[in-house]
Structure 1
Amino acid sequence: MEHKTCFHCGLDASEASITFDNKSFCCNGCKTVYEIFSENDLTSYYDLQQAPGATPKDVEGKYNFLDNAKIVENLLEFNDDNTQIVNLYVPHIHCSSCIWVLENLNKLNPAVSSSMVNFGKKTVRITYNAHKVSLKNLVQLLSRIGYEPFISLDDYAVGQKNVDRSLIYKLGVAGFAFGNIMFLSFPEYFQVEEFWLEQFKHLFRWLMFAFSLPVVFYSAQDYFISAYKGLKSRILNIDVPIALGAAVLSIRSTAEIILDLGTGFFDSLAGLIFFLLLGKFFQQKTYSFLSFERDYKSYFPIGITKISADGEESSIQVYDIEKGDRLLIRNEELIPVDSILIKGKARIDYSFVTGESEAVSKKSGDKLYAGGKQVEGSIEIEVLKSVEQSYLTQLWSNDVFNKNKEDAFTTLTNAISKRFTIAILSIAFIATAYWLLTDSSKALNVFTAVLIIACPCAIALAAPFTLGNMLRIFGRKKFYAKNASVIEQLAQINTIIFDKTGTITANKETAITYEGSQLSNAEEDFLKSTLRNSNHPLSRSLYTLLKENHIVPIENYEEHIGEGIEAHYNQNFMKIGSAPFVGLASEVKNLNTEVHISTNNTYKGKFTFYNRYRQGLSKLFNQLKPTYDLVILSGDNAGEKENLTKLLPAKTKLLFNQKPEDKLEYIKHHQNSGATVLMVGDGLNDAGALAQSDVGIAISENVNVFSPACDAILDASNFNSLYDFIKASKSAITIIKWSFILSLVYNSIGLYFAVSGQLAPVIAAILMPLSSISIVVFTTISTNLVGKKIKQKVEKT
């Protein structure tokens, strides 16, 4: 019978005799999946990878529990009328074809608006219209195309996914086999010839072979799979030399015992895989510890306004929010936790969560989800869940906000790994060829030892441990980077752009004076209530100044970015903002920032703000100026130009009257000219500029101005330490490079002994993890020393 493989999944299709479109299939399930893909123009799935699919299982009735609304509610991340979002764990995700088809689910069902795969975690996050397709139908669709999700109600109840313990199992199998093979090798080690030769030689050798099989086919399978996929995609990844070394050891050892030429190198093979997995396990545990220490709470130093039982307002940090708290959410603020609307007109923009830009209206008693932004005045909410359980902690790391920057950025490790692999393979083949010509008995030993001693574990470990530890250190200093690549990008910047109001000015220390006609008590109440809705730094400063006024219910609040705010109350309306916005015909130029007020089209007067710049601002700019191009982009008038010129270094660019879109275009223009830009803003009106920049830092000062567009959040109290954080990022890259150099020195020494035939494969396998551990120790100690320097400078300031 002619051997045929299934076009969809790659299994044997010889006996099934199922053909369609001149292609063979092992079962009707695989044929059905192919038909589905063909009908929906998704056959490119098979171009990316040969036979990438899995045989779909019969799931009839298996997911009937998803008809229960309460169960579905527990599984959903987001649920707001039409739109629902679910994050499903799909174990079969394994290649580029999987990613491609799962991110094109909308072609299979138009009710799916978007789907995004996290390849590392094997999850797919799906946004869909709940009126057109149910979660049950969605899960059944995934199952029909061979991507059945794993759903555990227990796991979801505690907010955790299924824990992958495969590495522990593989390490255990390799350790068990390594110990037994070493034990069986003792007669040969100690040259017990009579006992060994006469009775048990062949038995012991075949037992060693038996113990090696689970090591090769189970414990080492990830290295072989990774190497195969890399070679198939014409990519030389760092697992290629590892897989090649293990394969050579296994094949040679098997040949030796079959031909009765010797005992082979099963002890070296098992030792290699065991120590490799031990190094990977050590990396996983240590990096998990670093990630745990820098947990989700580190992301949010931002404040939120809490309303006490007696109506007192106080600012608390987001991670101090508890269930049952009553919170005030101002215009343009994000809702930090899942909650119930208590008071006010809610218009919620969920674009950060769902991608849909159209705001939805909510009424009192409706549920509001974390990540939504209030866009029409202020509202009061009651907390349903603490921030640990809400969606906001995942929002910042959403791949939607990372793609543009990370796609254009190549990490240091990726840049060097390909060259490293080519160099090692070249050395291995050249050295082997030399020994084949001079002393063929050493050739295989040399080839194997070179591949083992030059194992790229040290290179693979250097960046994760250095950057992971630096993330933790930065978090302790109140500088919260989104991910490790932010540190690498921060080290490469050459241009720094600052917003003015709320960024280089300290809102708490601003002095305010009023000039104009006296406001009545009713007008003052109206003024304070209007300001209460706004999150702009000037509005917050003025609101704090008016302490004793009563809050009245505002109607039809509207904020005009870059101009001002207006509101209606009890048939009266008020405008607060620039002179032209409130209707003042001619504006007298003033050196200070002004906020004008009119009620019912009658001009009342103006508040003048005497800016107080952040402590250490001049020193910070003097530190930055020799290395970076510095720019101030301000939406205010040029009244502060003279003061800033005196305060800041010469040739610092000062641009005023800049709208948010002007800032974005300015950054884009400089990037097109070759600049690598860091944007520092308050996160309120700077979202576009923060997103466009190579690195965007939002300054937090007891205000919930968190923006997913930013790459890092810097507590305002440590603003004057910005230079130290940038310098520390450069030091982190230097540490990684030194780690590479140390690894190169180690590899060079080891390669000398390996190439000259003086290094046994088992010794190489033992030395390899020791080098990895030394790199981890070096990076940890070095980054901690850098962290201490930051601490000392912060304390001095």
Structure 2
Amino acid sequence: MAVLTQSTCFHCGDDCGRHPILAEGHTFCCEGCKTVYNLLHAHGMEAYYAFTTAPGSSRKEGSRKDKFAFLDQADIARHLLQFQDAAETHITLYLPQIHCSSCLWLLEHLQQLHPGILNCRVNFARKEASIIFRQRDISLRQVAELLSRIGYEPAISLQQLDGKPAPAVDRSKLYKLGVAGFCFANIMLFSFPEYLGITSADLRLRHLFWWMNVILSLPVVFYSASEFYITAWKSLRHRFLHIDAPIVVAIAVTFFRSLYEVFTQTGGGYFDSMSGIVFLMLVGRVLQDKTYQQFNFERDYTAYFPIAVTRLRGRTEEMVTLPSVQVNDTLRIHHGELIPADGIIVSGQAMIDYSFVTGESIPVMKETGEMVYAGGKQSGGVMEILVVKEVAQSYLTSLWNRSSMQGTTAPRKSFVHLISRYFTYGVFTIAIIAGLYWQAWSVFTAVLIVACPCALLLSNTFTNGNILRLLGRHQFYLRNAQVIENLSQADYIVFDKTGTLTDAQRQQVYYEGQPLTRTQEIQLATLAAQSTHPLSKALLSALDTAARVRVTGFHELAGKGTVMGDGAEQVALGSHAFILPDVAPADNATAVYVSIGGHFKGRFVIRNQYRDHIDKCILQLKKHFRLAVISGDNNAESWPLQQLLGTGTTIRFRQSPEDKLYFVEGLQQQGHKVIMIGDGLNDAGALKQASTGISVSDGHHNFTPASDAIIAAAALPVLPQLLRLCKANRYIILAAFIISILYNIVGLYFACTAQLSPMIAAILMPASSISIIAITAGCSNLLAKLTLTKVIPTNKLAHSDPRGAQVILQHQSGSL
């Protein structure tokens, strides 16, 4: 007699049935799984199967061949693509099948399956793959079909095409919750005679109630609780126990014990407890999802992202925040500014640096009428674009985070994750011992339900998320949660002077030299408007004219000067060394020198005005950090800076962008954790080199991908309190972790001593997770309230001028 042996699919782990497919010494459940294996085998990618057993998804139900034909339509593709040029195309796709390390490995080696795919990066938590490919070698449709062929069919929804956000909570979970709630309520209704101890003389009516409870329990067990079964089964397939495994055992034990009592007519069972457990667990999951959505740092950043752009209304300029930018708006993009949204060039010179997007730093020339993409940086003067796609701030922020990850290694898992890994095994052990000791199924069930490592895992995530949110509300925006840790470990702060310690909006400007005609003033204003350097903005404010001339041949040398035009029409603004390289400077005044038609005309002397309350800020920072100031200006401000910073502070002048980078690098070689604070223009290298680079946002709200954080100029005086909040973050996490441990110890004690029913345990489990969120949010909110509401006195800051005059730093308009 033939003996039937059950075999599982080598690719997906499903039962192969009575007729398995054999290939290469392995069994497969269908031709689809065999095809995927052959594809990976042909490209030398068998390592996919080394991470875990049967990592793939079943291919029994393959996609029809024309399913992704709609991606060949240009208008649909345009809505999905994030970037496209002759060399490469970028897109992010949602792949719901991602579930393990094998998925991560396979997708991040996708380029081995097709030469047209250049790169693939996976966001495991969001189940998204960011793919870069060459359109001339493989189309978007073919990319989707390739993913589908290996078991990762992209989920492309109308919401993606319309640019709408996904709902905060999965609707299917709400349906399951509704069914569980309905059945739970009715089971309790039919169980009232049992609760009240009423013994009915009519046994048939009593038995009818019992069987009604059995019928009502079936949707709860086989539909509402399905989420727990799926998660537990997937974890068992990959040889580890998920935290849902104890819950599944508790539901199964309660359900089958109740069925036994009803079938043997020995009692009505515990269907009320079982349905109550499922209902309350689902309530907890939904509340967790909603709370996480509220605190999740990967949400819409429009609430406080401190970036603005110049929008044109007729001939009038207005500064607007990114959420205000709409399709068909005309934006004016200056030299050095990022393009915030996809658009079509309508005027101006365009030299687009896409290094922020593609990593390629060679600027690309674009003509009027051509498309430019969000994330590119204008490096050719001023241009105007017509917005054709709404601003995607999440995309800009993902680019920001992508640039920070280049050249870094994956972070190590925290001790919290290591503990939770063995937590479930410990729960099962305790439950079995307690159940055998008391010989009570309720004790066994209560232990399985009440113990949960969720609170341990949530303490770190939610505390970091809330701190990021609080810092953002105070106009201090961090790239990601790792920056909080970096700030808390810093011991050295390096400031740039111009535009950081000084206020570009309040500087006094005086002209010295040959008289300028009205036409020349307009030419200088036009050139100054091309740059976002603080001195250029101060000069533009002083010239006070809205008239402009046509810009040709614009060029800027970082930290030196700007030029436009040729020959007699050439106009140049810059430092003394840039305009008069062969002439020694007469003094050390901070000035912008002017050359028109190759002839020196004069200079604009700029009297620096330090920011209000910056002295209080420096005084507080000196208590906890060593300080330094590095500036590209001459040493005219040496004495005022010494008065401001006091003794023991390093001050360096005439520093090029390279000098600033080397200075920060030297401090790091001495073992210091350095914070670099600058305007992000001439110090981008130093910002990137520092442990944490902070860009000061002022006026045009410049955004530089070199920085790890952006702080609004108005928030600079409270920087000490903001840094103190970052340092306190680790103590809040530690406190939340201790509370989580204590909760599990206390809960297990009452469960093991038979003092806790499964129903109460089902209430406590989600309540513990929600309470951790409340505690961490409350502590961080209270700490922020105590530290960030201290009002700095509004007295005017003064310092003595080395020539004997008293200079009051208050608002004065520039004069010529």
So what's the TM-score if we normalise by structure 1? 0.87
5 Å-filtered alignment, 1:134-149, equals 134-149=139-154
Aligned to 1:97: 102
Q: Which amino acid aligns with 2:726?
A: S
User: Residues 90 and 147 of structure 1 are in contact (CA less than 8 Å); yes or no, is this contact kept in structure 2?
Assistant: yes
Aligned to 2:397: 396
Q: Which amino acid aligns with 1:358?
A: I
User: Residues 735 and 779 of structure 1 are in contact (CA less than 8 Å); yes or no, is this contact kept in structure 2?
Assistant: yes
Q: Which amino acid aligns with 1:41?
A: G
Aligned to 1:441: 439
How far apart in 1 are the matches of 2:213 and 2:457?
35
In structure 1, the gaps of 5 or more residues are none
1:250 aligns with 2:252: yes
CA separation of 1:594 and 1:123: change in aligned 2, threshold 3 A? same
- Residue deviations 1:125-170, cap 9 Å, x none? 2222222222122222222222221223464124445884233234
Give 1:88 shift. Answer: 2.1
1:38 aligns with 2:48: no
CA separation of 1:393 and 1:226: change in aligned 2, threshold 3 A? same
1:689 aligns with 2:683: no
Give 1:299 shift. Answer: 4.7
1:711 to 701, 708, 712: 708
Aligned to 2:222: 214
The DSSP-based 3-state class of the residue aligned with 1:502 is helix
2:23 to 9, 20, 23: 20
CA separation of 1:441 and 1:662: change in aligned 2, threshold 3 A? farther
The DSSP-based 3-state class of the residue aligned with 1:24 is strand
How far apart in 1 are the matches of 2:638 and 2:629?
10
Aligned to 2:801: none
Q: Which amino acid aligns with 1:329?
A: I
5 Å-filtered alignment, 1:275-286, equals 275-286=280-291
5 Å-filtered alignment, 1:578-727, equals 578-588=575-585, 590-668=587-665, 670-671=667-668, 674-727=671-724
Aligned to 2:279: 274
User: Residues 635 and 657 of structure 1 are in contact (CA less than 8 Å); yes or no, is this contact kept in structure 2?
Assistant: yes
How far apart in 2 are the matches of 1:58 and 1:745?
50
How far apart in 2 are the matches of 1:425 and 1:622?
53
How far apart in 2 are the matches of 1:409 and 1:591?
48
CA separation of 1:607 and 1:401: change in aligned 2, threshold 3 A? same
5 Å-filtered alignment, 1:33-112, equals 33-56=36-59, 57-112=62-117
CA separation of 1:184 and 1:674: change in aligned 2, threshold 3 A? farther
The DSSP-based 3-state class of the residue aligned with 2:710 is strand
User: Residues 352 and 371 of structure 1 are in contact (CA less than 8 Å); yes or no, is this contact kept in structure 2?
Assistant: yes
Aligned to 2:814: none
5 Å-filtered alignment, 1:364-763, equals 364-385=368-389, 389-398=390-399, 399-403=401-405, 414-419=414-419, 422=422, 426=426, 429=429, 433=433, 436=436, 439-442=437-440, 445-548=442-545, 550-569=547-566, 571-588=568-585, 590-668=587-665, 670-671=667-668, 674-763=671-760
Give 1:749 shift. Answer: 3.3
Give 1:622 shift. Answer: 1.2
User: Residues 293 and 299 of structure 2 are in contact (CA less than 8 Å); yes or no, is this contact kept in structure 1?
Assistant: no
Give 1:706 shift. Answer: 0.8
How far apart in 2 are the matches of 1:453 and 1:589?
79
How far apart in 1 are the matches of 2:743 and 2:229?
27
CA separation of 1:558 and 1:416: change in aligned 2, threshold 3 A? same
Larger mean Cα displacement after TM superposition, 367-376 or 76-85: 76-85
How far apart in 2 are the matches of 1:643 and 1:503?
15
So what's the TM-score if we normalise by structure 2? 0.86
Q: Which amino acid aligns with 2:229?
A: Q
Q: Which amino acid aligns with 1:254?
A: F
CA separation of 1:126 and 1:543: change in aligned 2, threshold 3 A? same
Give 1:118 shift. Answer: 2.5
1:321 aligns with 2:322: no
User: Residues 523 and 548 of structure 2 are in contact (CA less than 8 Å); yes or no, is this contact kept in structure 1?
Assistant: yes
Give 1:100 shift. Answer: 2.2
CA separation of 1:647 and 1:636: change in aligned 2, threshold 3 A? same
1:118 aligns with 2:123: yes
User: Residues 16 and 27 of structure 1 are in contact (CA less than 8 Å); yes or no, is this contact kept in structure 2?
Assistant: no
The DSSP-based 3-state class of the residue aligned with 2:790 is helix
Give 1:669 shift. Answer: 5.1
CA separation of 1:760 and 1:617: change in aligned 2, threshold 3 A? same
Larger mean Cα displacement after TM superposition, 651-660 or 41-50: 651-660
The DSSP-based 3-state class of the residue aligned with 2:55 is coil
- Residue deviations 1:295-316, cap 9 Å, x none? 4323543333344424x44444
1:287 aligns with 2:292: yes
How far apart in 2 are the matches of 1:293 and 1:396?
9
Q: Which amino acid aligns with 1:757?
A: A
The DSSP-based 3-state class of the residue aligned with 2:643 is helix
Give 1:500 shift. Answer: 1.9
Larger mean Cα displacement after TM superposition, 114-123 or 683-692: 683-692
Give 1:713 shift. Answer: 2.3
1:361 aligns with 2:365: yes
- Give the paired residue count: 782
Give 1:733 shift. Answer: 4.2
- Residue deviations 1:191-242, cap 9 Å, x none? 556779886398478558745632686031355257547854xxx8xx43x5
How far apart in 1 are the matches of 2:246 and 2:88?
49
CA separation of 1:694 and 1:762: change in aligned 2, threshold 3 A? farther
How far apart in 2 are the matches of 1:219 and 1:370?
39
How far apart in 1 are the matches of 2:220 and 2:456?
28
2:14 to 11, 14, 18: 11
Q: CA RMSD in A?
A: 3.6
How far apart in 2 are the matches of 1:481 and 1:722?
13
User: Residues 329 and 387 of structure 2 are in contact (CA less than 8 Å); yes or no, is this contact kept in structure 1?
Assistant: yes
User: Residues 219 and 273 of structure 1 are in contact (CA less than 8 Å); yes or no, is this contact kept in structure 2?
Assistant: no
Larger mean Cα displacement after TM superposition, 527-536 or 157-166: 157-166
Give 1:746 shift. Answer: 3.7
User: Residues 305 and 472 of structure 2 are in contact (CA less than 8 Å); yes or no, is this contact kept in structure 1?
Assistant: no
Give 1:322 shift. Answer: 4.1
Larger mean Cα displacement after TM superposition, 561-570 or 158-167: 158-167
Aligned to 1:788: 785
The DSSP-based 3-state class of the residue aligned with 2:726 is helix
Aligned to 1:165: 171
Give 1:755 shift. Answer: 3.0
Give 1:780 shift. Answer: 4.1
Larger mean Cα displacement after TM superposition, 352-361 or 246-255: 246-255
How far apart in 2 are the matches of 1:216 and 1:185?
21
The DSSP-based 3-state class of the residue aligned with 2:511 is strand
Give 1:647 shift. Answer: 0.4
